[in-house]
């Protein structure tokens, strides 16, 4: 994969992340979801097998939504601006999972066969993302430091799983 494509994927993910988090903090969850989806759509238009990549995105979204629903149900985190019922994971979180899934075969591809690195990346990066979102007003970590531990364990387990799935659903491979 070309370096410009990797950089573009990374930059578009960062834009999507900020759109979702700042959108939630400003009570604009649907706008955030639309922006994140559009940025991923741009990427899908330029890859060899967008259907395969879209399958990965949908699978990762389901996994991510279940994880975030579990942390919500157990009071680990409280989300701002749901876009629908406060009892459900918000639409902007779904947008974040869409954007994150789009990085698995692009800017995070280097991590595919490095399980321990994937575990550490998830265990450190996951909680850091929630902490940053909290600082920006999109979430509240309700039982810190326990929230950090739960998020680290969850992301530490999910990241290698998602990297494994990215091999099976690689839209950047020619058909």
pLDDT band at residue 33, thresholds of 50, 70 and 90? confident
* Residue 34: CB atoms within 10 Å: 15
User: Is the whole model's pTM more than 0.85, yes or no?
Assistant: yes
Condensed to tens digits (0 to 9), the pLDDT of residues 54-100 reads: 999 999 999 999 999 999 999 999 999 888 888 999 999 999 999 99
Query: CB–CB of 54/169 below 8 Å?
Result: no
Residue with tokens 């990297």: 163
DSSP assignment of 97-156 equals HHHHHTTTTTTTGGGTT-HHHHHHHHHHHHHHHHHHHHHTTSEEETTTTHHHHHHHHHHH
Task: Note the pLDDT of residue 133.
Answer: 97
As a whole number of angstroms, the distance between CA 144 and CA 175 comes to: 46
pLDDT exceeds cutoff 80 at 49: yes
Domain ranges of the chain: 3-168
Helix (H) or strand (E) holding 173: none
Task: Note the pLDDT of residue 108.
Answer: 97
Query: CB–CB of 98/37 below 8 Å?
Result: yes
* Residue range 118-141: mean pLDDT, rounded: 97
**DSSP character at residue 26:** T
* Residue range 9-29: mean pLDDT, rounded: 94
CA distance from start to end of the chain: 15
* DSSP-derived 3-state class of residue 89: coil
Q: Please report, rounded to a whole number, the percentage of residues in the chain having pLDDT higher than 90.
A: 80
Structure tokens at 142: 């309700």
pLDDT band at residue 37, thresholds of 50, 70 and 90? confident
Residues 6+ apart with CB under 8 A from 8: 43
Task: Note the pLDDT of residue 175.
Answer: 60
DSSP assignment of 47-88 equals SS-HHHHHHHHHHHHHHHHHHHHHHHHTTSEEES--SS-TTS
Q: What is the overall mean pLDDT for the chain?
A: 93
CB-neighbour burial class of residue 175 (10 A; exposed 0-12, middle 13-18, buried 19+) = exposed
As a whole number of angstroms, the distance between CA 40 and CA 13 comes to: 8
pLDDT exceeds cutoff 70 at 134: yes
């Amino acid at each position: 994969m070309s370096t410009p494509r990797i950089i573009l994927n990374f930059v578009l993910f960062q834009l999507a992340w900020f759109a979702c988090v700042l959108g939630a903090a400003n009570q604009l969850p649907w706008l955030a979801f639309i922006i994140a989806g559009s940025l991923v759509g741009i990427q899908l238009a330029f890859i060899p097998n967008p259907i395969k990549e879209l399958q990965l995105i949908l699978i990762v979204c389901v996994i991510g939504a279940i994880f975030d629903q579990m942390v919500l149900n157990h009071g680990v985190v409280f989300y701002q601006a749901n876009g629908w019922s406060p009892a459900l994971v918000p639409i902007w979180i779904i947008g974040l999972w869409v954007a994150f899934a789009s990085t698995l075969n692009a800017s995070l591809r280097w991590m595919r066969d490095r399980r321990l690195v994937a575990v550490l990346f998830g265990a450190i990066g996951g909680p850091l993302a929630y902490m940053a979102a909290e600082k920006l007003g999109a979430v509240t970590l309700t039982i810190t430091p326990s929230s950090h531990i739960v998020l680290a364990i969850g992301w530490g387990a999910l990241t290698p799983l998602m990297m494994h799935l990215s091999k099976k659903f690689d839209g950047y491979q020619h058909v």
